Structure 1
Amino acid sequence: MTTPPTPQAPSQRQAPAPQHSPQTAPAGPYTSPIPVRRATLGDAIASEWTKIRSVRSTMWTLGVMIVLLLGIGLLATLAVNTVDSDLGSTPVLSLGFFGVLLGSICVITLGVMTIASEYGTGMIRTTLTACPSRARVLGAKAIVFFLLTFVITTVTTALVAVMQTAFIESAAPSGGDWLRATVGVGLYTATLGLLALAVGALIRHSAGAITIMIGVVLLPLVLAMFMFAESLSDLRLALFQYSIPSQLSALYSTSVADSGPSGWDSLWIMLGVTAVAMICAFVTLDRRDV
């Protein structure tokens, strides 16, 4: 006969044996398996290219510009063929001027929105956090925007020029005329868009910057048309000569005014003005808070 075990007091019960965890060495500095390197301008360009091609505004503005260039160029060609008119000394490539002038409004809009829209949405804080170098950010935006608009404008104007020379009987344009009406117009339009980008960086407001740029394009010519006083004749002539429509027409070997920029002169003028505006944009972006 066995005796039942006597109950033990709580204090007499054995505590469970502690489970000893294996000793670990003190943690050292963490080394990421991902290679770390300094950010470069190429990285900023890749980032800006991803942004500009992934937003709808790029597709709509450039799409409308292409439609305007091709549509107005085709309408001008059909109009000349229908009335069977003789262009005389007017270069056949100059028929693309009106489409480019209207299409430049689309380029201006996209140039402003490339940077000003980020201030409106607050995305500029994320951009400058990822890339603290503000000069690099603005430079990457300028490079991506300029190359995109230059390529599209040049290709589209070349298509319009081929269509017009094929369907309209006129004197064959020279090589210089072709170069100015395609590459020259593409460079001028893209540089005008860069000026809009610089104004967008200075104003930081999409609607305000677009309004200013439209005024820069159209207001001098409109003001000159209503300056009838003889005392304002010199100012009127200067506005006619150096207005953007007159500079653009100079690339087509025509001019709104009887004198003023001719040939490639208008491109050098636009490059100078845009360079000054971009320098101001660099300075203000570096000194102002976001």
Structure 2
Amino acid sequence: MSTPPPPMPQQAAAAPTWQAAPGTSYSSPIPVTRTHLGHALTSEWTKIKSVRSTLWTLGIFLLLVVGIGFLVAAQTQDADFSDVPYTIPAFFGLILGQICLITLGVLVVSSEYGTGMIRTTFTASPQRHRVLTAKLIIFFAVAFTVSVFSIGLVGLMTSAMHSGSSNVSWGGTVVKGALYVSLLGVLSLAVGSMLRHSAGAITTMLGVVLVPAILPAFLMLSQSMRTIGEKMQEYAAPNALARVFALDNENGGGGAQLGLLAGVTAAAIAGAYVLLERRDV
């Protein structure tokens, strides 16, 4: 006679599932804050101050502008500043230093595309225009502040070396010179956002700076192209900075060059916004 099978153990009762009472909605215990531009600015500030490229590019920029400016000022005499501002020595450092801001402007945006971190950025902040706006604001603030400091420091050092030898106000050249190189950096950021490639964007910006300075020499060989060459030479970056620093005997000049650069930068920013919304990451 076979023995009956042992009784099956009772199944554990299913865990009760929480259900909201009818007519009520779930409320998260975690506080939810509506995001705004301030959060994006904080994020971009954290990024730009924590990467080594910022330290290297701005450090080299300061070294070039202040170092070359000091060396130039040390080789001048009091009479050299009788009709020019004390910030003239900073001009020679900015010729090279502007490349540092161009490089940093590109890297601020293109490095995220290169590493794929831009996907994380847009996941945390789906409003892409807000991210680009924050990058533009933070970069311009950093570039302008560092540029004003370096140019102003050169002006103060030169003034101390040649006290009382110039009657020309040099405060305007500090602001205009810093504004010009900072706009070049912002233009680079916009180009980097459109191209999404560090090497390509940096090469493009170097062409924007160098080609107008070199090409006029060939254009002016032809009489028919001479007018175009002269106009291009007038607005090339080195000559534009020379006008800003009154090297052409136009005290406080460079307004037209600044206006053109601001217009080109605004157009590039508009293009960056349009492509940012239309393309996938």
Interval containing the TM-score (normalised by the shorter chain): 0.7 to 0.9
Report what 2:216 is aligned to: 224
Q: Paired residue for 1:95?
A: 89
The residue that corresponds to 1:75 in the other structure is 71
Deviation at 1:202, TM superposition (A): 1.1
Specify whether residues 274 and 48 from structure 1 end up closer, same or farther in structure 2 by C-alpha distance, changes over 3 A only: same
Hey, what does 1:188 align to over in structure 2?
Answer: 180
Distance across 2 between alignment mates of 1:14 and 1:263: 97
Residue in structure 2 matched with residue 158 of structure 1 by the alignment: 152
For 2:224, what is the secondary structure of its paired residue? helix
Residue 149 of structure 1, CA deviation: 0.7
Give the superposition deviation at 1:113: 0.6
Task: Give me the whole-angstrom Cα distance separating, in 2, the residues matched to 1:105 and 1:153.
Answer: 13
Q: Distance in 2 between matches of 1:246 and 1:86?
A: 20
Give the residue type in structure 2 aligned to 1:80. Answer: T
Residue equivalent to 1:201:
193
Query: Partner amino acid for 1:242?
Result: Y
State the Cα distance separating 1:187 from its structure 2 match.
1.6
The residue that corresponds to 1:115 in the other structure is 109
Would you say the 8 A contact 2:106–2:191 is kept in 1?
Answer: yes
RMSD: 2.5
Aligned residue type for 2:167:
A
Shift of 1:147: 0.5
Q: 1:25 to 1:214 in 2, by over 3 A?
A: closer
CA contact (8 A) 1:70 1:99 kept: yes
Q: Which has the larger radius of gyration?
A: 1
Instruction: From 12, 37, 41, give the equivalent of 1:41.
Output: 37
Q: Kindly tell me: are residues 165 and 172 of structure 1, through their superposed partners in 2, closer, same or farther at Cα, counting changes over 3 Å?
A: farther
Residue from 252, 256, 266 that aligns with 2:257: 266
SS at match of 2:144: helix
Q: Once the 2 structures are TM-superposed, how far is the Cα of residue 203 of structure 1 from its aligned partner?
A: 1.1
Q: Which amino acid aligns with 1:114?
A: V
CA positional deviation for 1:20: 8.3
Give, in angstroms, the shift of residue 196 of structure 1.
0.3
- Could you tell me which amino acid in structure 1 is paired with residue 255 of structure 2? W
Counterpart Cα distance in 1 of 2:119 and 2:241: 37
Q: Deviations over 1:145-174 (max 9, x none)?
A: 010111111111111110011113531332
Report the Cα offset of residue 286 of structure 1: 0.7
User: For 1:245 and 1:14, how far apart are their aligned partners in 2?
Assistant: 94
Change beyond 3 A, Cα 1:21–1:72: same
- Look up the SS of the partner of 2:225 in the other structure: helix
Return the alpha-carbon distance in structure 2 between the equivalents of residues 221 and 22 of structure 1: 78
**Equivalent pair of 2:81/2:166 in contact (CA under 8 Å):** no
Match of 2:121 among 113, 127, 134: 127
Q: CA deviation at 1:22?
A: 11
Q: After superposing the two structures, state which structure 1 stretch, 215-224 or 20-29, moved more.
A: 20-29
On the 8 A contact 1:68/1:102 being kept in 2, the answer is yes
Task: Output the TM-score relative to the length of structure 1.
Answer: 0.85
Q: What amino acid is the match of 1:148?
A: V
Offset of residue 27 of structure 1:
3.3
The correspondence for 1:50, drawn from 28, 31, 46, is 46
After TM superposition, give the deviation of residue 32 of structure 1 in Å: 2.9
**Structure 1 residues 127 and 232: alpha-carbon distance in aligned structure 2, compared to 1, 3 A threshold:** same
Task: Please give the per-residue CA displacement for 1:51-95, whole angstroms capped at 9, x wherever unaligned.
Answer: 1111110110011001111110111011225xx774554433222
Q: Is the 2:110–2:198 Cα contact (8 Å) retained in structure 1?
A: yes
Task: Map Cα deviations across residues 95-123 of structure 1 (whole Å, 9 max, x no partner).
Answer: 21111121110000000011111111111
TM-score computed with the length of structure 2 as normaliser: 0.88
Instruction: Give 5+ residue unaligned stretches, structure 1.
Output: 1-8
Q: Provide structure 2 residue ranges, at least 5 long, that are not aligned to the other structure.
A: none
Counterpart position of 1:246: 239
Equivalent residue in structure 1 for 2:167, among 154, 163, 172: 172
Alpha-carbon distance, 1:14 to partner: 8.1
Contact 2:84–2:168, Cα closer than 8 Å, also in 1: no
Q: State the number of aligned residues.
A: 273
Q: Distance in 1 between matches of 2:7 and 2:64?
A: 91
